């Protein structure tokens, strides 16, 4: 079987003049190499396709693949993660990970939280703030937390994201509007432990692999799993397996969110505890990073004794179930 690889390389966008933060979600060359080696070890042929524009050219030229391993993030728009899967569906080519509906929904954190709340699952009170008028009468208790409504990898998150007053809220929302040209998600700040839960599988076969606590070191920016803390995680962040009752609750919530949103194959759910130590859903990543040493899901797998090769094999196992 020939497996195509779709991805966005960070270094290519940097060469085109895009900034460091703009390209934070894109992949390093060694991520693509690691996935390719894992697939080849399984006996598959591999073909590096690249991003959506390269995919368009090659589809138009008549090329096809029996399966595409897709980690392309896309560059613009709420549906950017859905662009590659949408094209592949048009041509009837199966692919890894979630479908265009899920990827479009989950990139928009506000819409995702509406659905999660509708499922009866815990998430902090929030508002999607698009303009100055939305700030009037915002009845949420301080401290608050603000971030772009549709970004990942900590983009836009700094120590100023934790907000203590109306003046700070207005200033932070203006910064986010100007920088990212999109609404801000404003929610109640959760002061407790932060977890990420790894999920593998689809539907009723999905399972929570484990729960990892994100612990900020003294060198880290305080209180927030920020863009800088993520970029320099080796120096600023400690990751530990969590196995206590709180972690078990976090895993149960994460799995319910995963199944409720109909995510596929593998990904991550991020949670944080409130004042009472209760885990609350923050966001979900159904297209999680796969760098062997730098991305949260592979880090969690390593802590659990699951090798990178085994992770890729399990992703392929569930994706291939959809191949007819």
CATH code of the domain containing 70: 3.40.50
pLDDT given for residue 206 in this prediction: 98
Q: Would you list the DSSP string of 186-219?
A: EEEPP-S-EEEEEEESSGGG-EEEEEEEEEE-TT
Q: Do residues 149 and 183 share a domain?
A: yes
Does residue 134 lie within any of the structural domains?
yes
* DSSP element (H, E) containing 172: helix 166-180
The edge-to-edge listing of strands for the beta sheet with 184-188 is: 126-129, 184-188, 144-148, 162-163
Does residue 114 lie within any of the structural domains?
no
Q: Do residues 281 and 209 share a domain?
A: yes
Q: Do residues 129 and 173 lie in contact, with contact meaning Cβ atoms separated by under 8 Å?
A: yes
Q: Do residues 260 and 115 lie in contact, with contact meaning Cβ atoms separated by under 8 Å?
A: yes
Does residue 110 lie within any of the structural domains?
no
Q: Do residues 221 and 196 lie in contact, with contact meaning Cβ atoms separated by under 8 Å?
A: no
Does residue 102 lie within any of the structural domains?
no
CA dist 200 and 14 (Å) reads: 32
The last residue of one of the domains, among 150, 167, 188, is 188
At residue 92, what are phi and psi to the nearest 5 degrees? 70, 30
Q: Do residues 253 and 301 share a domain?
A: yes
Q: Do residues 265 and 206 share a domain?
A: yes
CA dist 244 and 210 (Å) reads: 11
The tens digit of pLDDT for each residue in 252-309 reads 999 999 999 999 999 999 999 999 999 999 999 999 999 999 999 999 999 999 999 9
For residue 64 the two structure tokens come to: 């096809």
Does residue 108 lie within any of the structural domains?
no
pLDDT given for residue 82 in this prediction: 98
Does residue 119 lie within any of the structural domains?
no
Strand 67-70 versus strand 162-163 pairing type: unpaired
CA dist 229 and 126 (Å) reads: 24
The last residue of one of the domains, among 165, 188, 211, is 188
Q: Do residues 68 and 80 share a domain?
A: yes
At residue 181, what are phi and psi to the nearest 5 degrees? 55, 45
The last residue of one of the domains, among 188, 216, 243, is 188
Residue 80 is given by DSSP the state G
Q: Do residues 175 and 215 share a domain?
A: no
Per the structure, how many domains does the chain have? 3
Strand 207-216 versus strand 237-241 pairing type: antiparallel
pLDDT given for residue 283 in this prediction: 97
Q: What is the CATH number of the domain that holds 262?
A: 3.30.470.20
Average pLDDT over residues 238-246: 97
* E strand segments, 107-227: 126-129, 144-148, 162-163, 184-188, 194-200, 207-216
Does residue 307 lie within any of the structural domains?
yes
Q: Do residues 60 and 154 share a domain?
A: no
Average pLDDT over residues 104-114: 98
Q: Do residues 148 and 224 share a domain?
A: no
pLDDT given for residue 137 in this prediction: 84
User: pLDDT > 90: what percent of the chain?
Assistant: 94
User: pLDDT > 70: what percent of the chain?
Assistant: 100
At residue 226, what are phi and psi to the nearest 5 degrees? -80, 175
How long is the chain? 324
Average pLDDT over residues 69-80: 95
Q: Do residues 196 and 316 share a domain?
A: yes
Q: Do residues 155 and 50 share a domain?
A: no
Find residue 148's DSSP bridge partners.
184
Average pLDDT over residues 194-214: 97
pTM: 0.95
Q: What is the CATH number of the domain that holds 168?
A: 3.30.1490
For tokens 């399972």, the residue is 207
CA dist 279 and 282 (Å) reads: 9
Q: Do residues 172 and 201 share a domain?
A: no
Does residue 87 lie within any of the structural domains?
yes
Q: Do residues 255 and 242 share a domain?
A: yes
Average pLDDT over residues 48-56: 97
- What is the extent of the structural domain holding 148? 125-188
pLDDT band at 313 (very low <50, low <70, confident <90, very high): very high
pLDDT given for residue 242 in this prediction: 97
């Amino acid at each position: 079987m020939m497996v195509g690889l779709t991805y966005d390389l960070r270094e290519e966008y940097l060469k085109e003049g895009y900034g460091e933060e703009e390209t934070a979600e894109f992949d390093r060359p060694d991520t693509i190499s690691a996935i390719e080696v894992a697939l080849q070890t399984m006996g598959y042929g591999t073909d590096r396709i690249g991003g959506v524009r390269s995919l368009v050219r090659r589809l138009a030229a008549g090329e096809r693949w029996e399966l595409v391993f897709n980690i392309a993030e896309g560059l613009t728009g709420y549906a950017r993660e859905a662009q590659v899967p949408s094209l592949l569906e048009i041509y009837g080519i199966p692919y890894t990970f979630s479908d265009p509906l899920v990827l479009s929904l989950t990139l928009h954190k506000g819409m995702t939280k509406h659905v999660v709340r509708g499922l009866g699952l815990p998430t902090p009170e929030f508002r999607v703030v698009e303009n100055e008028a939305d700030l009037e009468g915002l009845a949420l208790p301080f401290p608050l937390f603000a971030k772009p409504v549709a970004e990942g990898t900590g983009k836009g998150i700094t120590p100023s994201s934790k907000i203590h007053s109306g003046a700070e809220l207005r200033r932070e929302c203006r910064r986010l509007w100007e920088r990212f040209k999109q609404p801000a998600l404003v929610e109640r700040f959760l002061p407790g432990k932060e977890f990420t839960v790894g999920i593998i599988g689809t539907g009723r076969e999905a399972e929570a692999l484990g729960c990892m606590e994100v612990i900020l070191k003294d060198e880290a920016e305080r209180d927030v799993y920020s863009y800088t803390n993520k970029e320099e995680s080796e120096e600023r962040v400690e990751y530990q397996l969590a196995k206590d009752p709180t972690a078990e609750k976090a895993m149960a919530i994460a799995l319910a969110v995963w199944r409720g949103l109909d995510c596929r194959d593998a990904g991550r759910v991020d949670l944080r505890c409130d004042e009472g130590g209760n885990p609350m859903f923050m966001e979900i990543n159904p297209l999680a990073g796969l760098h062997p040493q730098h991305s949260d899901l592979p880090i969690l797998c390593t802590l659990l004794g699951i090798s990178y090769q085994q992770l890729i094999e399990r992703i392929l196992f569930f994706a291939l179930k959809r191949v007819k």
